[in-house]
């Protein structure tokens, strides 16, 4: 993973966004990923899937990903090319799910008050500084633990486990 | 400074002398449990297992029978996995029910253990003095390397006193706490329940109290094991365990005190789990469908409570009630005790042990405008069918009473 991600804020979400509400409820049953990304976050902003560009960043309030650790929303973000999510705080299960997918997430208390849609951000995952390039303001995010960074660098938990296991044959393999 | 129960378990499982809240550690879970649903979203790929298969437990759980090709494939993958890796803790259709009861019945849940699952409702097993935590997709790594990462949480202590009034259950206490502290009230923390009212509780009630702390954004919940737990576990397994307890001088983020003596039945209103009202405020809302079951209910005392209300009464015409005992063992015991007869006489459908109507994509699709009252875990719009349907959550007595009246009803009117 890159130490620094630069991108434009595509959307600013409120507090307590449930993991199952990152798509409108009528798309809860839709598992066709050719169609589904077109409805990502449309219950909060109908134009979001049209407006978002690869590399954009999502900003959210407190307890992002509340509830069950369902990761449909994250898959939607990835399909749309979103580069990172930074929230005031994350629900622990959603945070873990994002790390497992190798997706950059960083908690930054106070961010929703300092950043607006359209602002350019520079998120430094090494120093945990988030610079608002539009306003020049620097915000302090929570640091990423080295173990979590290692998983992100591997590209997610499956790739990380693969690396850790190495090429040793499974003792149960035929 | 002393250590909390959580710190003690996690230190043991990480091979460290001591762990500090906030620290990220690698741990070796004693049990990695999983159900079939987690396979079918990613296709039917057989997971790579390189650890002792006795550390794994799998069963269909969510779908008592596959109702489509994807589900059938996920079941088949699981069967193949059990065979290939010689997984003996595998329970197929007819033997499974819901894992958040089943694994305890099988003696796989013991004090001092570390259990991981993709599903956060595994916190139910905190009732056994076990650190049981949802790890999402990370079970894939646990199968391969035997370990997962965890952040050592601080502990929020909730001290409960008083005697539960008639028709009020540990579920109501849980809803009240959730309403008070809110969806982020325990973010990243472990909740430890303690106090005389917790000691007086049955194991089943303790499981319900621990079941849904994910909605407070907690990592999990835990209760120190006592004689009741030791007797239950020893009756079901010869497996070894260590009944760890926290130090008296351990530090907690906060201590909350609850007296349940005046607690009332609570009703969770659409469309969020933390929109909680008392039965007085919710009473009178007409309902179409009612359900008693899920990992948050469907145990013997839930069924007994529902039976007390349903005995000699009929379900309101135009309302349907489904009751799904949580596991085959509970279903058997309920039948032997005559509870099933009472449910049938009342006009309820007694369903197979499974998540049933609580599950996203489960059974009992609701049409626009229909109202559903359930002992389930979640009430988001669209979860049970149409986004224009409404789901209310309540204790089994309230659900049974509401099914009899055809509207949300205070169960104490019938007790």
Per-residue pLDDT reduced to its tens digit, B333-349? 999 999 999 999 999 99
| CB neighbour list of residue B415: distance below 8 Å, 6 or more residues apart | B166, B167, B308, B309, B397
> A117 CA to chain B: closest CA distance, Å?
25
Cβ atoms < 10 Å from Cβ of B206:
23
Query: What's the rounded Cα separation, in Å, for the pair A157 and B220?
Result: 22
Mean pLDDT of B357-369: 85
Partner-chain residue, chosen from A25, A92, A162, that has the shortest CB–CB distance to B387 = A25
Contacts of B361 in chain A (CB under 8 A): 28-29
- Give the pLDDT of residue B140: 87
Q: Do B215 and A66 touch (CB under 8 A)?
A: yes
Based on the number of CB atoms within 10 Å of its own CB, is B163 exposed (0-12), middle (13-18) or buried (19 or more)? exposed
Q: With a cut of 60, say whether residue B51 has pLDDT above it.
A: yes
Q: With a cut of 60, say whether residue A101 has pLDDT above it.
A: yes
Mutation for A interface: B138, B181, B272, most A CBs within 10 A: B138
Contacts of B273 in chain A (CB under 8 A): 67
Alpha helices in B63-162 (DSSP H): 69-85, 99-105, 139-145
- Give the pLDDT of residue B1: 84
Q: With a cut of 60, say whether residue A174 has pLDDT above it.
A: no
Q: In what order do the strands lie in the sheet with B114-117?
A: B56-59, B31-35, B114-117, B131-134
Where do the DSSP E strands lie in chain A?
A: 4-12, 57-60, 84-87, 105-107, 120-124, 129-132, 138-140
Q: Do A63 and B361 touch (CB under 8 A)?
A: no
Mean pLDDT of B152-181: 98
> B85 CA to chain A: closest CA distance, Å?
6
Mean pLDDT of B89-110: 97
Partner-chain residue, chosen from B149, B184, B272, that has the shortest CB–CB distance to A89 = B184
Look at the alpha carbons of A81, A84, A86, A91 in this order and tell me if their dihedral is positive or negative. Answer: positive
> B162 CA to chain A: closest CA distance, Å?
30
Mutation for A interface: B88, B141, B359, most A CBs within 10 A: B141
The pair of structure tokens assigned to B388 is 């224009």
- Which of B:51-70 have CB within 8 Å of A? 53
> B219 CA to chain A: closest CA distance, Å?
7
Query: Which residues of chain A are at the B interface, by a Cβ-Cβ cutoff of 8 Å?
Result: 16, 18, 20-21, 24-26, 28-29, 31, 62-63, 66-69, 71, 89, 91-93, 96-97, 100-101, 145-148, 151, 157-158, 160-162, 164-165, 170-172
Q: Does B273 touch chain A (CB under 8 A)?
A: yes
Above pLDDT 90, what percent of chain B?
Answer: 88
Query: In terms of CA atoms, which chain A residue is nearest residue B84?
Result: A172
Contacts of A170 in chain B (CB under 8 A): 48-50
Partner-chain residue, chosen from B26, B380, B387, that has the shortest CB–CB distance to A26 = B387
The pair of structure tokens assigned to A70 is 């369902």
Mean pLDDT score across all residues of chain B: 95
> B179 CA to chain A: closest CA distance, Å?
14
The pair of structure tokens assigned to B4 is 């909390």
- Give the pLDDT of residue A150: 96
Mean pLDDT score across all residues of chain A: 93
Stronger pLDDT, A166 or A3, i.e. the higher one: A3
Contacts of A89 in chain B (CB under 8 A): 184, 187
Give exposure, B218-251, as e/b (b: 16+ Cβ within 10 Å).
bbbbbbbbbeebbebbeeeeeeebebbebeeebe
> A90 CA to chain B: closest CA distance, Å?
8
Q: With a cut of 50, say whether residue B104 has pLDDT above it.
A: yes
Q: What is the pTM of this model?
A: 0.97
Query: In terms of CA atoms, which chain B residue is nearest residue A72?
Result: B41
The pair of structure tokens assigned to A48 is 């979001």
* A145-155 pLDDT tens trace: 999 999 999 99
Reduced to 3 states, what is the DSSP secondary structure of residue A112? helix
Give the CA distances from residue B217 to residues A86, A90, B160, in Å, rounded to whole numbers and listed in that order.
Answer: 18, 9, 20
Q: Do the Cβ atoms of B313 and B285 come closer than 8 Å?
A: no
Q: How many CB pairs under 8 A join A and B?
A: 114
- Give the pLDDT of residue B39: 60
Q: Do B215 and A25 touch (CB under 8 A)?
A: no
Interface pTM, i.e. ipTM = 0.96
DSSP state of B49: -
- Tell me which residue has tokens 């407006």: A51
> B103 CA to chain A: closest CA distance, Å?
21
Q: Does B381 touch chain A (CB under 8 A)?
A: yes
| CB neighbour list of residue B133: distance below 8 Å, 6 or more residues apart | B114, B115, B116, B117, B120, B122, B123, B150, B219, B220
- Give the pLDDT of residue A169: 45
Q: Do the Cβ atoms of A126 and A1 come closer than 8 Å?
A: no
Mean pLDDT of B280-309: 98
Q: With a cut of 60, say whether residue A170 has pLDDT above it.
A: no
Q: Does B382 touch chain A (CB under 8 A)?
A: yes
Partner-chain residue, chosen from A18, A92, A147, that has the shortest CB–CB distance to B380 = A18
Partner-chain residue, chosen from B50, B138, B217, that has the shortest CB–CB distance to A66 = B217
CA B126-B40-B357 angle, 5° bins: 60
* B5-48 pLDDT tens trace: 999 999 999 999 999 999 999 999 999 999 877 665 545 678 88
The pair of structure tokens assigned to A15 is 């507090």
């Amino acid at each position: 993973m890159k130490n620094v991600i630069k991108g434009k804020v595509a959307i600013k979400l409120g507090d307590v966004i449930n993991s199952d509400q990152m798509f409108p409820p009528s798309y809860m049953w839709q598992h066709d990923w050719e169609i589904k990304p077109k409805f990502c976050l449309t219950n909060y902003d109908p134009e979001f899937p049209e407006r978002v560009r690869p590399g954009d960043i999502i900003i959210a309030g407190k307890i992002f990903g509340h509830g069950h650790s369902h990761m449909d929303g994250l898959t939607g973000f990835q399909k749309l090319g979103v580069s990172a999510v930074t929230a005031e705080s994350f629900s622990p299960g959603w945070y873990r799910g994002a790390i497992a997918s190798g997706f950059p997430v960083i908690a930054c208390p106070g961010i929703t008050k300092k950043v607006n849609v359209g602002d350019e951000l520079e998120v430094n995952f090494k120093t945990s500084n988030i610079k608002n390039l539009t306003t020049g303001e620097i915000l302090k995010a929570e640091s990423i633990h080295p173990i979590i960074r290692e998983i992100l660098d591997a590209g997610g938990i499956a790739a990380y486990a693969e690396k850790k296991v190495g090429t040793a044959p499974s003792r149960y393999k035929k | 400074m002393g250590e909390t129960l959580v710190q003690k378990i996690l230190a043991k499982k990480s091979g460290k002398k001591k762990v500090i809240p906030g620290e990220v550690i690698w741990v070796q879970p004693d049990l990695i449990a999983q159900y079939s649903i987690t396979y079918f979203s990613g296709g039917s790929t057989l997971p790579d297992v390189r650890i002792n298969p006795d550390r794994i437990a799998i069963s269909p759980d969510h779908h008592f029978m596959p109702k489509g090709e994807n589900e059938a494939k996920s079941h088949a993958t699981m069967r193949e996995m059990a065979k290939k890796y010689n997984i003996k803790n595998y329970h197929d259709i007819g033997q499974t029910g819901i894992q958040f009861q089943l694994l305890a019945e099988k003696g796989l849940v013991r004090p001092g253990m570390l259990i991981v699952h993709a599903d956060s409702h595994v916190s139910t097993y905190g009732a056994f003095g076990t650190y049981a935590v949802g790890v999402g997709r990370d079970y894939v790594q646990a199968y391969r390397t035997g370990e997962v990462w965890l952040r050592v949480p601080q502990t929020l202590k909730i001290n409960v006193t008083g005697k539960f009034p008639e028709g009020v259950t540990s579920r109501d206490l849980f809803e009240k706490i959730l309403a008070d502290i809110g969806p982020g009230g325990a973010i990243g923390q472990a909740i430890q329940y303690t106090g005389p009212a917790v000691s007086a509780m049955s194991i089943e009630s303790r499981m319900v109290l621990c079941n849904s702390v994910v909605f407070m954004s907690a990592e999990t919940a835990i209760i120190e094991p006592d004689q009741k737990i030791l007797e239950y576990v020893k009756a079901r397994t010869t497996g070894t365990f260590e009944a760890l307890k926290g130090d008296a001088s351990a530090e907690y983020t906060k201590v909350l005190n609850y007296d349940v003596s005046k607690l009332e039945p609570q009703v969770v209103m659409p469309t969020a789990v933390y929109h909680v009202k008392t039965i007085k405020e919710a009473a009178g809302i007409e309902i179409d469908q009612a359900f008693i079951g899920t990992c948050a209910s469907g145990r013997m005392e839930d069924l007994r409570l529902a039976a007390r209300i349903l005995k000699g009464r009929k379900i309101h015409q135009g309302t349907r009630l489904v009751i799904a005992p949580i596991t085959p063992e509970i279903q058997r015991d309920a039948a032997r005790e005559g509870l099933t007869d009472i449910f049938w006489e009342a006009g309820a459908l007694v369903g197979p042990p499974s998540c049933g109507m609580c599950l996203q994509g489960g059974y009992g699709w609701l049409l626009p405008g229909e109202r559903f009252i359930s002992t389930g875990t979640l009430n988001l719009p669209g979860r049970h069918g149409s986004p224009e349907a409404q789901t209310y959550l309540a204790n089994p007595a309230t659900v049974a009473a509401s099914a009899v009246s055809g509207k949300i009803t205070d169960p104490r009117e019938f007790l």
